[in-house]
Amino acid sequence: MDGFRVTYTVECAESAALLSPDRRETLERGLAVLARNPYHPATAPIGTHEDNRKAQVAPGVLIEYVVAHAVMVVVVLTVFDESLYLLADVPGQVERGMEGDAALGGGG
């Protein structure tokens, strides 16, 4: 990667290693863009410190990172699994063992 060196906390590195190859490659491509400009307009500061930032680097992949000198440290990696949404009308949704409202406490 050009520009800033990208590194992960131990926890984030472990999470990234568990991603599917396709999702991992997408994460790496997004990080390559951020390595060239960690203050990219598609990112946002966290709190009042400009060097603490967040970005959605790929569909369903959100990171929080810290910029220090020439290094970006990914401190939070959140991966959203679309198959686990609660709403049954979401395209691609797989309901997992839920039968009607009874599973949600609606009983009857």
Q: Tell me the per-residue pLDDT of 57-71, one tens digit each, with 9 for 90 and over.
A: 988 899 999 999 999
Residue bearing tokens 């990172």: 65
Global confidence as pTM: 0.73
Q: Tell me the per-residue pLDDT of 23-78, one tens digit each, with 9 for 90 and over.
A: 899 999 999 999 999 999 999 999 999 999 999 998 889 999 999 999 999 999 99
DSSP states of 13-82:
HHHHHTS-HHHHHHHHHHHHHHHH-TT-TT-EEETTEEEEEEEEEETTEEEEEEEETTEEEEEEEEE--G
Domains, the chain, ranges and CATH?
5-80 (3.30.2310.20)
Q: Tell how strand 61-68 and strand 44-46 pair up.
A: unpaired
